[in-house]
Amino acid sequence: MPFSFFDPELAKALFHLAGESEFGVLGWPLAILIVLRRYQSFVAYGFTASIVIAFFIGQLYLVQIEHSVAIVHAFAIRLQYILYRYELVRSHRAQTIEPQ
């Protein structure tokens, strides 16, 4: 956004009309409105680009979360299988070692 589009003389006149000689309570909102009026298309393009970028970042995080859940799920299944085999071995040993 080139600085040459901003008219400082217009800003001074508007600040004077608002009753503020420097950036005060009425000065900042007025300055923001002046900048938004001058750079309206740039602001719209910036918001549009940031929305699109945020969407793709959200999709990336979604894929990462799905991948993490799949890894934890596979680990839980493997752990359950190992514990099941351990219980089978333990019960088999208990049956074979029983006193007669």
pLDDT tens, 57-86?
999 999 999 999 999 999 999 999 999 988
Angle in degrees, 0-180, between the axes of helices 27-38 and 40-96, rounded to the nearest 10 = 90
With 0.85 as the threshold, say if the pTM is over it: no
Could you give the CA distance from residue 20 to residue 27 in angstroms, rounded to a whole number?
7
